[in-house]
Structure 1
């Protein structure tokens, strides 16, 4: 019976899947940032409010289920400190450096360059299991 629940694929967070999944499980990570251009290049839909996802660890084992609470697309250099802190990984400068380091090689695979006004998808979520 469909109760209007929207599901998406399972996924790992970033390049440090175990650490980030653990932050989700602890309730410290309640947000994530992804590059908008990658949704376009890979012809994927943006996350939707109310969508559920299964978070995997580095061994592709499910460790949590999250529900998307909000989705906003904006230039990376306009992301607020409040949002970056909700990612649970460190302060604003850590967030900025980590995302530049993460996005730059991915963009290069498509012959694109990083720019401070790169559009990003800012997702807030809540852990619903465990």
Structure 2
């Protein structure tokens, strides 16, 4: 689907992993995935987060380890790249993972919160927003495992 775009930007097609947006599930696929919950602000939020990545403010993200399906791999530093989509499914850039580590929710650092680039970039803001998000999906616990991922933009579209 993205072969032409990948070639145009002189990226190695063999290193392409997947395309995704900052939202739960993929609303552009026909899917019975119960995790997909369309809400009016979801697309707007995905657009805002993609812009933060493009301007270099957002260089990290986090997810709940318990939110991964059995057999689903967590991000890894493997030299591959993903295509980041905006809230409307349009490719905005290619990113590669540079660091991945697991930490308990209450142990996420202020440095990581800053790298996520959201709100005032404080740890307090990060905890509030992520606690609310994880609660929506019944995943929250103060001692839950968080997958912290850092990435860099390797091509802008």
TM-score (structure 2 length as normaliser): 0.72
Matched, 1:33 2:62: yes
Higher mean alpha-carbon deviation, 60-69 vs 43-52, is at 43-52
SS of corresponding position for 1:95: helix
Q: CA deviation at 1:13?
A: 1.2
Question: Which residues in structure 2 correspond to 1:1-130 (within 5 Å)?
Answer: 6-14=15-23, 15=42, 16-39=45-68, 41-49=69-77, 50-89=79-118, 90-107=121-138, 113-130=139-156
Q: CA deviation at 1:42?
A: 5.0
In the alignment, structure 2 segments of 5+ residues that lack a partner are: 1-11, 24-41
Q: CA deviation at 1:5?
A: 5.5
In the alignment, structure 1 segments of 5+ residues that lack a partner are: 108-112
Q: CA deviation at 1:20?
A: 0.3
Asked which structure has the greater CA Rg, the reply is 2
Whole-Å Cα distance in 2 between the matches of residues 19 and 32 of structure 1?
Answer: 14
Query: Number of residue pairs matched?
Result: 122
Q: CA deviation at 1:101?
A: 1.1
Q: CA deviation at 1:125?
A: 0.4
Deviations 1:73-94 (A, max 9, x none): 1111111100110001121111
Whole-Å Cα distance in 2 between the matches of residues 104 and 17 of structure 1?
Answer: 19
* Structure with bigger RCO (C-alpha 8 Å, 6+ apart): 1
